[in-house]
Amino acid sequence: MIWVVLAAVLAVAVVIVVALPFLREPAPASDELHALDPAERSLLDAEEARDRALAALQELEADHRAGRISDDDYRAVVGSLRRDAAEALRALDRVSAAGTSDAKAKIH
Amino acid sequence: MAELGRAALLLTLGLSAYALLVGGYAAWRGRRRLAHSARNALIASFFSTLVAALVLVAGFLRDDFSLAYVADHSSKALPTPYKLSAFWGGQEGSLLLWLLVLTGYAALAVWLARKRARDLVVWVTPVLGGIALGFSWLLVAVSSPFDVIAAPADGSGLNPSLQNPYMVVHPVALYLGYVGLAVPFAFAMGALLSGRTDERWIVATRRWTIVAWTALGIGQLLGAHWAYVEVGWGGYYAWDPVENAALMPWLAATAFLHSVMIQEKRGMLRVWNVTLVSLAFCLSLFGTFLTRSGVVTSIHSFSKSTIGPWFLGFIVVAVVFAIGMIWYRLPQLRTTAKLESLVSREAAFLYNNLLLVALSLTILWGTAWPMVSEAVRGETMVVGRPYFDFFLRIFGLPLLLLMGIGPLVAWRRASLRGLARTFAWPAAVALATGVALIALGAGSSTPGLVAYTFSAFVLASIVHEFARGTAARRALTGEPIPTAFGRLIGRNRRRYGGYVVHAAVVLLAIGIAGSSAYDSVSEGRLAKGESLAVGGYTLTYRSLGEREGPNATEVRAVLDVRRGQKDLGTVKAGKNAYSVEQQVSNEVGIRTDYLTGEDLFVIAEQVNDDGTVFFRIFVKPLVNLIWLAGIVFLLGSVIALWPDAREERRLATRYANARERSDTPATT
């Protein structure tokens, strides 16, 4: 009998845990999940591209300094990596600016 | 007590179904409270499964033989540690362990990722709920550990080969690996379902993948050591289907850990990465299917059962779902970045990936061949060790070499002149090693010689990398060598942790090559006082003794060991006769030379009534490097796993906007 009671207690406990979001907020102002909008996703993509470009440049410098990469190989790659990094930063600026104006438009 | 266990599993079934159905609906319709509720259900499913597991543990500890599973796998005389490990000694308990680990991982993963990738987690919850639903259904409806019988006076006992300390930890480690692969799979599917194919699923699952991969690797090594000391045939890996079942997902996960770096660095291989992570998970399901269904003959397999078709159906659903999602999101997964040169680090990683996947699929084909031949021809055909050994050499040796090449090549492109300079030192060491080995007479095995030469190349390149990195840091900062070395690793944990793991693989390769290509064996029936010579050792059979152990009669033959004129003491080998289980096990004698890593391995194959014993004796050079590799592997994984505060700060900044926006309810 004790085991049946324990099973019942367990069942009640999990029902409470599952219902908790509704018990805490019986009538919320909004029940909508916020998904990233296209502008936010573009921003995230641009930030990832920037981090990737800067990390690649940083790693190349470290590899060259440690002697893993020859001067010739370094010179062959560093230019395109710097251009990629600059382009990624410009793209991020563009996306950020567009996001800011979108936000302002929403406020007004 | 069985009622509580059954009720707890029923609750897990309900909670998993809720996480799948309600979580899926909440993610689809964007319902915040429902999504949180589904997440809570997934977390609660761990606790209900834990209750079920504790009930079963209590059943074993209390010798409650009214539970059929306890009666079938334990006995009163069984030592307490083995009563605990008897939990996973059979099918139902193993499935319960699977579910416990799965729900534990799921609860932790969704809880830890709830802030950084909240919009992703709402889709991850139903995927993990779906997997948990499959396993909890098996436990509730098909193969319950809480079936009740009229309690017998004593249980049937535990299979003697499972009465070994390794069996207390090996299955747990293996399951932590198998099941852990469900987390990256769920996040990858969550990313595809939500259409958020950015890097967040990779960031969220990076550590989970390494944890699962490490556990699977360590689990396999523990299993190999168990086979070595317990099964008593003189080896540690037999290409047994169930051993292969653990190796295949590990190889696929290894490929994923490398290819994911290309996505992080270059934004390439998105389709390949979700495919690999799906392959690794589906192979882990296939491995569990092989172990549990009884479709293959293996020392690890349990009796034939009814779960095979269910499990096969589950695998088909997972495969179809993964392929369908990848196909559906293909346009979003395509990238503009291209491979710039065939001589670059990403190209080297790609070659590594192709070899790893080829090896994994070749092993899959060899493992599944008995089932395929049975289905097609009506007769079971088995591919033997030569098939697997051949492909291990064909794919494994180039992989070993690539392990030394890959980390030294620049991203994007590298010139052949630059490479020649980079590889000069490691190549010289490898060449010198090869020449020295031939001079020392190691040329008798070509694959062994090639493996040693490649291993020397990789080890030299790793040492060179550490030395060069430390010197560069020292030149830049003026730090003393130990500080520069420590900070070099601390600032690049994944890179240098990876090098340490590579060193472990080299140790493993040396150990395998040494113990399989250069081992010696001798066998014979000896009477007391007679000797047998093998690999420079002379063993003299001295005496035969018998004593009563806790649950077995232990018979041991004692042999004196000499090498040349030097007395090396004694070694004991024999058999245990288990009275409850009515089984006999081989108990091998091993004498380890810690200086050379060599083992003298003695099997008492047959103990005769007249006191003579048929011995088989092996000398296995360098075999202990395999076990040492496990420790080094763990060290490397811990280094790679250790949190990097700078990386965490960078990611926190990157995801700050998304997090702030998704933390608050939408106001429109």
What pLDDT does B5 receive? 92
Find the Cα–Cα–Cα–Cα dihedral B294, B300, B303, B307, rounded to 10°. Answer: -50
pLDDT at residue A58 greater than cutoff 60: yes
Burial class (CB in 10 A: 0-12, 13-18, 19+), B530: middle
Q: Is residue B412 scored above 70 in pLDDT?
A: yes
A66 touches chain B (CB under 8 A): yes
What ipTM describes this predicted complex? 0.79
Tally of CB atoms within 10 A around B466: 16
**Which B positions 349-388 lie with beta carbon below 8 A of chain A?**
none
The beta-carbon neighbor of B33 closest among A25, A59, A62 is A25
B53 close to B146: Cβ distance less than 8 angstroms: no
pLDDT surpasses 50 at B337: yes
In this predicted model, what pLDDT tens digit does every residue of B109-132 receive, in sequence order?
999 887 777 778 899 999 999 999
**Two tokens, residue B214:** 């490490």
At A101 the pLDDT is 63
**Interchain pair B472, A66: CB under 8 A:** yes
Is residue B419 very low, low, confident or very high in pLDDT (cuts 50, 70, 90)? confident
CA distances to B239, B276, B339, B450 from B394, rounded to whole Å, are 16, 21, 26, 12
At B158 the pLDDT is 85
Number of H helices, E strands in chain B: 21, 9
pLDDT beyond 60 at B290: yes
Q: Give the residues across from B601 on adjacent strands.
A: B590, B618
A-contacting residues of B 88-127, CB under 8 Å? 119, 122
Average pLDDT over chain B, rounded to an integer: 88
Calculate the dihedral angle through the C-alpha atoms of B476, B482, B488, B490, rounding to the nearest 10 degrees.
-140
CB B181 within 8 A of CB B322: no
* pLDDT tops 80 at residue A102: no
pLDDT at B341: 82
Nearest CA in chain B to A52: B265
Tell whether the model's pLDDT for residue A35 goes beyond 80: no
Yes or no, beta carbons of B32 and A32 under 8 Å apart: yes
Backbone angles phi, psi at B230, to 5 degrees: -110, -40
Cα–Cα distances (Å) from B357 to B284, B318, B482, B503, in that order, read 14, 19, 39, 21
| pLDDT tens per residue across span B208-264 | 999 999 999 999 999 999 889 887 777 888 888 888 989 999 999 999 999 998 888
Residue B188 CA to residue B206 CA, distance in Å, equals 11
Q: Over 90: is that where the pLDDT of B152 sits?
A: no
| pLDDT at residue B305 in the model | 66
- SS3 letters across chain A: CHHHHHHHHHHHHHHHHHHHHHHHCCCCCCCECCCCCHHHHHHHHHHHHHHHHHHHHHHHHHHHHHCCCCHHHHHHHHHHHHHHHHHHHHHHHHHHHHHHHHHHHHHC
Tokens 């059954």 sit at which residue? B6
pLDDT reading at B668 higher than 60: no
Interchain proximity A18–B408, CB inside 8 Å: no
Beta strand B537-548 pairing with B520-526 = unpaired
Confidence category of residue B318, pLDDT binned at 50, 70, 90: very high
The token duo for A74 is 């370094």
Q: What is the mean pLDDT of residues B652-658?
A: 64
Tell whether A26 lies on the interface with B, counting CB pairs under 8 A: no
pLDDT at B301 over 70: no
Q: Give the per-residue pLDDT at B231.
A: 78
Task: Determine contact: B662 vs chain A, CB below 8 A.
Answer: yes
The predicted structure's pLDDT at residue B388 = 92
- The pLDDT tens digits for B58-91 are 999 999 999 999 998 898 888 888 988 899 888 8
Q: What is the pLDDT of residue A29?
A: 84
Q: What single letter denotes the amino acid at residue B73?
A: H
H/E segment holding residue B251: helix B241-266
Query: How many Cα atoms are found within 13 Å in the side-chain-facing hemisphere of B430?
Result: 24
Residue type, position B614, single letter: F
Q: Chain A within 8 Å of B659 (Cβ-Cβ)?
A: no
Q: Name the minimum distance, in Å, from the CA of B103 to any CA of chain A.
A: 14
- pLDDT at position B384 is 82
- Check A62 against B472: CB less than 8 A apart: yes
Q: What would the mean pLDDT of B583-593 be, rounded to a whole number? A: 90
Question: Which three-class secondary structure string do you get for A58-74?
Answer: HHHHHHHHHCCCCHHHH
Is B658's CB within 8 Å of A51's CB? no
pLDDT score for B145: 92
pLDDT band at B664 (very low <50, low <70, confident <90, very high): very low
**Greater pLDDT, B348 or B302:** B348
Distance CA B663, CA A12 (A): 29
pLDDT interval class at B663 (50, 70, 90): very low
- B224 Rama sector, left if φ>0, alpha if ψ -120 to 50, beta otherwise: alpha
Q: How many CB atoms lie within 10 A of CB B549?
A: 12
Task: Report pLDDT for A92.
Answer: 84
Average pLDDT over residues B189-203: 86
Q: Is the separation of the CB atoms in B618 and B234 below 8 Å?
A: yes
Cα–Cα distance for residue pair B509/B515, rounded to 1 Å: 10
How would you class B483 by CB atoms within 10 Å of its CB: exposed for 0-12, middle for 13-18, buried for 19 or more?
A: middle
The CA distance from B192 to the nearest CA of chain A, in Å, is 14
DSSP B121-179: HHHHHHHHHHHHHHHHHIIIII--TT-B-PPPSS-----GGG-STHHHHHHHHHHHHHH
Helix (H) or strand (E) holding B555, with range, is strand B552-563
Q: Do A18 and B31 touch (CB under 8 A)?
A: no
More confident residue, B220 or B306: B220
- A77: closest CA of chain B, how far (Å): 7
pLDDT at residue B654, rounded to an integer: 67
Q: Tell me if A30 and B30 make a contact (CB, 8 A cut-off).
A: no
Please answer whether residues B585 and B161 qualify as being in contact, where contact means their C-beta atoms are separated by less than 8 angstroms.
yes
Integer angstrom CA distances of residue B347 from B341, B356, B407, B446, B492 = 7, 14, 11, 28, 22
CB atoms within 10 A of CB B148: 15
Report the range out of A39-43, B45-49, B563-567 with the highest average pLDDT. Answer: B45-49
Q: For the stretch B32-67, what's the b/e string if a residue is b when 16 or more beta carbons lie within 10 angstroms of its beta carbon?
A: bbbbbbbbbbbbbbbbbbebbbebbeebbeebbbeb
Lowest mean pLDDT among B96-105, B165-174, B644-653: B644-653
Q: Which residues pair with A32 in a beta bridge?
A: B31
- Whether the pLDDT of residue B42 is over 70: the answer is yes
Whether B507 and B626 have beta carbons less than 8 Å apart is answered as: yes
**Chain-chain contact of B418 with A73 (C-beta, under 8 angstroms):** yes
Residue B62, SS3 per DSSP = coil
Q: Are B108 and B211 in contact (CB under 8 A)?
A: no
Question: pLDDT at position B19, please?
Answer: 96
DSSP per-residue string spanning B566-628:
EEEEEEEEEEEEETTTTEEEEE-EEEEETTTTEEEEEEEEEE-TTS-EEEEEEEETTTHHHHH
% of chain B surpassing 70 pLDDT: 95
Question: Residue A74's pLDDT band (boundaries 50, 70, 90)?
Answer: confident
Per-residue pLDDT tens over the stretch B259-281: 998 888 888 889 999 999 999 99
Secondary structure of B90-109 as H, E, C letters: CHHHHHHHHHHHHHHHHHHH
Identity of the residue in A3, A7, A69 whose CB atom sits nearest the CB atom of B410: A69
